[in-house]
Each structure stands twice: as C-alpha cells, then as structure tokens.
Structure 1
Amino acid sequence: MEMQKILFLCALSAFCLMAMVTFAEDDHIYLECKDHPRGPWCYQEAVEQHNQPELCENILKYWPKADGVHGWCYYQLAMKNKDCSLCDRIHAADIKKMCRLDVCN
C-alpha cells in the first residue's frame, strides 16, 4: 500500500512538471526572459507593455520567490488601467496597500 502511494505521488509530480514545462514553452514572454539575469523583472516589463494583467500570475509559477515582482506587475497595470480589482490579486501586503491607496481612492 505504501509503495502505491509513493508511485502515485511520483506520477503526479511528473505530470505537474510536464504540464508546467509545456505551458512555459507556449509562453513567448517566458522564453524571452527565462535566461535573462533579471528574469522576473524582464517578464513583468513585457507583461506591462502588452497590458495583459492575467499574465502577472505566471511570475510566481516561473519564479516562486518573486512575490514583490508579482505584486509590482499587478500594481503597475492597476495604475495604468485605473482598475482597483487588480489590487486584490497582489500577495505582498505592502504593495497591495499602496495599490489600494493609489488606485482605489
């Protein structure tokens, strides 16, 4: 029974990894920025230029420790589009607070 659990977890992990790699290969912005020394910032700047806030979430998929860049991505687009709802997607408390003050008031 224990061996089945281990095999299941290994298979699930492999599937998740393959899905993430496949998704990353379809993301042209990621392909441009993945080897850049400032990868998350490169990605954030490109997302801002394309005005695609839904792509901000990918920052944490590709660079899990880039909470600040993720928040800044949403903040910049919230300011640009005057869209207060984007502030709610920010994880970093300080950036979320700044976003609400600057965009929602």
Structure 2
Amino acid sequence: MTPLSSGALRELLADLPGWTVDADHRAITRRFVFGDFAQAFGFMAQMALVSEKLNHHPEWFNAYNRVDVTLTTHDVGGLSERDIAWASRADSAFAAVVPQGA
C-alpha cells in the first residue's frame, strides 16, 4: 500500500464533494448530520461493519445527530485508496438515510 499522490487525491476527491483535505494532505474529514440520534448511531453501526470488511477504521466522534469522521492510513503516513473507499461507502450509506438537499 502506498500513499496517494496529490494529483490522484484531487481526482478521487472530485467524486466525494463533502470531504475536506487537511492542511498537510494526510487526512480527509467530513461531518454527517442526521435527523436524530438513532439515524446517526445506525450509520455508525453500518459503517462499523464496512470498516471490518475493509480492514480500515475511522477516527470518529458522535454527538446526538452528528458524526464527525477523520480518515487517514497510518501505515502509509497519509491518505490511501482505503480512505477513499471508506469515504465513498460512507457517502452512499448517508445518502440512503438522508436524501440530498434534506
């Protein structure tokens, strides 16, 4: 596994508009806001299963209806394709619960 180049990261993030790259390009972050705590917790439970399947685990924080996620690949000291795969799956899971524009 190797870290993503800046160019590759830019291309891959074009399909993940809700994600922000940190200043040193070693992590991406996103805040997911749900209708209530049950939706937020359900999202986390679903993504916990995805995390196990991908063998890639986020740094995340939950407060009521909000889930803040930070992704990085510690093994490569930055971002990898695993982060992008997890982010994509999270976006899909979120869209299934909270329709866009809601």
TM (norm. structure 2) is 0.27
TM (norm. structure 1) is 0.26
Higher relative contact order (CA 8 A, sep 6+): 2
Where is the strand percentage greater, Structure 1 or Structure 2?
Answer: 2
Who wins on radius of gyration, i.e. which is larger?
1
